[in-house]
Amino acid sequence: AVVPSPFPKAIFDRHLVEQGPGHSLSIRLIIVSFRCYVYFVFLPFHMAIYVRDVLSDRRLHLWAKVGCVRFPASVVHNASGYALSVVLLGMVSLDPIVRCLGQNPVLTQHCPAGDAVQRAYTVPSMVAVLLLYLLASDICVFSNSIAAFVLVFIRLATHMMLFLICFAVVLLAFATAAATLKLEAHGWESVLDCAVSMVDIFMGAAPEEHRVALDEEDFPTLKVLITIFYFVTGVYLLNLLVSQLAQSYSSTYADMIGFARLKRGSKVVEALELASRSRWHRFVDSLNLDKPVCFCEGDVGMAGAIEVMEPATMDRTNIEAIRRYGGTTAAEAPWPEEESTAADDVKDRLDRIEGAVRRMAKRLEKPRRRAGGAGLSSSIAASSQGSELQSTPE
């Protein structure tokens, strides 16, 4: 659903950081205005919706399990929205402007009490911005292709998590093994140092002094251990991850278009819940579903449809697809049975044969087009030879 967004707050908070403590009163007023919008409009609006959904799930006994813990279904399906509300509540409690009320200058956030929570306030601000971008990903429902790609990305995240778990286990094993060597080289003293150094080697970002220390000192066992670690993680695990992602993508993308359409439908239903009854009635009245729709000019059809114009040459057909009957249209009166004669049966058979011949002719034209000029020249030569044979006296 389309809801108010506190993106301007993040923008002006960034501007506040660039201005420093000596920002002007106009900037302070703008910052306070946007924070009031977030705290007193955006947050209460979402909290009311979430409380309503939780109470509705509890009344209807709609629960979803995450591990061994049971939550209301709306909390699991919209976890990012609930997390954003919790983070915004934390921002309200840590807001430096609230701590500096009554200090000079007016509406400042730089005072002893505000400076004490400045660093703590930036953490929920960072999380809130990330959650806002995550919620903004719902805009992708307007394109089925993008929505399908996002759903595939979510489905394949399980393979990435398995890779990270396996990488962590391998890293712990090799880091512990390297720490048992009790080397005095820089970066290899403890298990944590060995793990950090191996991650740097895996990422290709190992410091130069580590490489120089390994070259200067004689640590053949450590070099062999590093080689085995890089082969297991950088060669085997990475290629295994790529193969898994490729196979899973090819097997799941075919069904993701349908899931993307279902996702779009769910978002439409959520948006309809936010629309007022009067606005909904105005929308339905604007569709004019009670007025008959014309099949073409002068040909009045049935009601309950939406007219969409298309070029007359888009779907050419010589057969009338609409069967017309005279008489009443009452639901109680049965439709007259269609009378078929022998002539109609023969005509239908001829139409089917004609359609089969046309399809066969199209299939035969394709290899001729691929042949190009060579085929054309050979056909011309054959026709000329045939004409010579006809002109030759017997």
Task: Report the pLDDT value the prediction gives residue 321, as an integer from 0 to 100.
Answer: 66
Query: With left for phi above 0 and alpha for psi between -120 and 50, is residue 293 left, alpha or beta?
Result: beta
Strand 294-296 with 299-300, pairing = antiparallel
pLDDT at 4: 43
CA dihedral over 109, 114, 116, 120, signed as positive or negative: negative
Helix (H, G, I), strand (E, B) or coil at 336: coil
Distance CA 15, CA 28 (A): 10
Asked whether residue 258 carries a pLDDT value surpassing 50, the answer given is yes
Structure confidence at residue 1 (pLDDT): 39
- First-to-last alpha carbon distance for the chain, in angstroms, is 87
With beta carbons less than 8 A apart as the criterion, state whether 35 and 47 touch. Answer: no
pLDDT attached to residue 213: 65
pLDDT at 162 over 80: yes
pLDDT tens by residue, 97-109: 888 888 888 888 8
Q: Which of 215-224, 325-334, 370-379 has the lowest mean pLDDT?
A: 370-379
pLDDT at residue 167, rounded to an integer: 93
What integer pLDDT is reported at residue 390 of this predicted model? 41
> What pLDDT score does 387 carry?
41
Instruction: Concatenate the DSSP letters of all residues of 246-312 into one string.
Output: HHHHHHHHHHHHHHHHHHHHHHHHHHHHHS-HHHHHHHHHHTTTTSPPEEETTEE--SS-------T
Contact (Cβ atoms closer than 8 angstroms) between residue 161 and residue 146: no
pLDDT at 19 over 70: no
pLDDT bin (cut points 50, 70, 90) of residue 12 is very low
Of 80-89, 138-147, 216-225, which one has max mean pLDDT? 80-89
Residue 215: is its pLDDT beyond 70? no
Looking only at the bridges linking them, the beta strands covering 294-296 and 69-72 are unpaired
**pLDDT at position 200, please?**
87
For 334-360, the pLDDT digits (tens) are 776 766 656 566 777 777 888 888 888
Cα Rg of the chain, angstroms? 36
pLDDT, tens digit (0-9, with 9 covering 90-100), for 167-214: 999 999 999 998 888 777 777 788 888 888 888 888 887 777 766 666
Averaged over 241-267, what is the pLDDT?
Answer: 81
State the pLDDT at residue 271. 78
Task: Tell me the mean pLDDT in the region 72-93.
Answer: 89
Residue 286 predicted with pLDDT over 70? yes
pTM equals 0.57
Please give the pLDDT value at position 83: 92
- The yes-or-no verdict on residue 394 having pLDDT over 60 is no
CA 271 to chain centre: 18
CA–CA gap between residue 66 and residue 62 (Å, rounded): 14
Which of 20-24, 136-140, 231-235, 255-259 is the most confident on average?
231-235
pLDDT at 392: 41
128 band by pLDDT with thresholds 50, 70 and 90: very high
Question: pLDDT value at position 288?
Answer: 86
Q: Which amino acid is at 224?
A: V
- What is the pLDDT confidence band of residue 370, given thresholds at 50, 70 and 90? low
